[in-house]
Structure 1
């Protein structure tokens, strides 16, 4: 089974914040990683998406964003087994849509 997280501004609205399983815990943590900005979380300043790339062309920074996501999950939610990560800036509002596929959860 796999899960899709989309950083669409409503990511935490779509997630159950009362986890009953390890999989739900991983999804919550992944959603928080994608919805937070670097240095914005008190006591965990390293958590979140790096905003240094905001005003650069997406085709230039897409690989950097994917690498940042991998690093964030490796450090803050190592139980997640990541699948495909896509960065799309083709929406009409000019916002970046980031999609992260979690293909599994490591047990133990």
Structure 2
């Protein structure tokens, strides 16, 4: 499966579970502060919906990425999202660990 197909399929499954994810984002933000979900596409494709264990603070998310440009992009996203309306999703694919940073509009 290509990177884009894996990404698109995982995002489609997550979209079907947006109500659960919205609740999760709000609860995790209140308990941990700004951050985002760190999710592996393969887990989502195997129907493992993210939970509070997938939520990372901004500092925890940054530790995962070595690339300065990735860190810069992620810092900007995390610093600028509205946690009442949005969440940040870091999706890592199984194909060469390609990573996508996604802003999720909450319900």
TM-score (normalizing by structure 1): 0.35
Larger Cα-atom Rg: 1
- Larger helix percent: 2
TM-score (normalizing by structure 2): 0.35
